Copies of this chain bind each other. A is one copy, B any other.
């Protein structure tokens, strides 16, 4: 795979016309020998696709903050089958120096020089892990250079930004995926499966709490940078509710509270939300940047319920309790690497010319809900977000599992998310 690192041939763009079965992009279940399996299956169909599949996708990681350092950069070691860390982009020379040494990366650059890197032919894709307000700009820059875009959630700060991101990646025939790591995580996918399969009966309601003490000076406290509890953690609750009901909310309402605290000068501290879904279903959640750690959700149907607690974590294992009548089943999943699966999946989408499931359309849906919630906070009224029903939802078939990793030491001026 290493030989492709210096090639200027970009996988994915030329193969767009090759139709492949849905399974192909997901044919990388943990434990098997995914690259070979995928290659064999698809190679039989068409030689060019086969050639593409033999290659690796070369990524530039854009932004070297906390999540990049503790999760994204180390994940490449477990995504070698189709993903290569090829370049680092940051304005912090210390980060570039130390991290390029740590990962053996020759190609580093500042934000100002990013366009040159993007046009160099040395990379195929970017993983954007910048503050939320910068997602649009770097998606545009990458797409114009013909690079595929894997962008952290939230997709952007406004639906308008999201629309532009979808547009420009389409225009440039590159893939766009929003990094919803839980779309590949077993416990969350099992919950969705049980919700959709009828195991829980007819679904009635969803509820969730997601809370942490956000660190001061983190971009999450900055309105300008697209911070706030809804964008950063509430989005997980929204996304989980939408996935559970396989539907979009019809009307949403939110209320926000705050505290005298330098962290909450620009953003609310805590937001409580109620959302009405089709088929007389309701979801509610509270997300907070000023509460102790909580990370749980619950889907309740007529016959049973499933409670994930912790639900949204990547730094620890995920657990669920399934209740059916008087029976109660608990299941614990050890901490896993939730970032390598995103890379593997997205690279497979690029190499097999498949539209990623957590697409731009998935990303914009959450942002439209958040915009509606923000209007509701301002007006005190119910707001109807404008959403179209999504064709695709996360399913168990998307599960990819890689072992948990020990996060490496941080370098440079990094603001961890929590205190």
Contact = CB atoms under 8 A, between A and B. Distances in A.
A206 B286 CA distance: 9
A112 interface: no
A286 B282 contact: yes
A209 B284 CA distance: 10
Contacts of A259: 202, 280
Interface stretch (A133-141, A293-301, A339-347): A293-301
A81 interface: no
Given A255-B282, A276-B257, A282-B270, A290 B207 contact: no
Contacts of A281: 257
B304 A300 contact: no
Nearest to A264: B280
A272 B284 contact: yes
Contact size range, A: 35 or more
B300 A211 contact: yes
A324 B292 CA distance: 8
A200 interface: yes
Contacts of A325: 292
A280 B269 contact: yes
B300 A207 contact: no
Contacts of A285: 284
Contacts of A39: none
A82 interface: no
A277 to B, nearest CB: 9
A237 to B, nearest CB: 11
A288 B204 contact: yes
Given A269-B204, A380-B382, A305 B291 contact: yes
A205 B305 contact: no
17 contacts: A200-B292, A202-B259, A204-B290, A205-B209, A205-B272, A207-B209, A211-B300, A253-B253, A255-B274, A255-B282, A257-B280, A257-B282, A291-B302, A293-B323, A294-B300, A294-B323, A381-B381
Closest 7 CB pairs of A and B: A257-B280, A204-B291, A291-B300, A272-B282, A292-B304, A272-B274, A272-B284
Given A257-B280, A269-B280, A293-B305, 18 more contacts: A201-B292, A202-B259, A204-B290, A205-B270, A205-B272, A207-B209, A207-B284, A211-B300, A211-B305, A257-B276, A272-B274, A273-B274, A274-B284, A290-B302, A291-B302, A291-B305, A292-B323, A380-B381
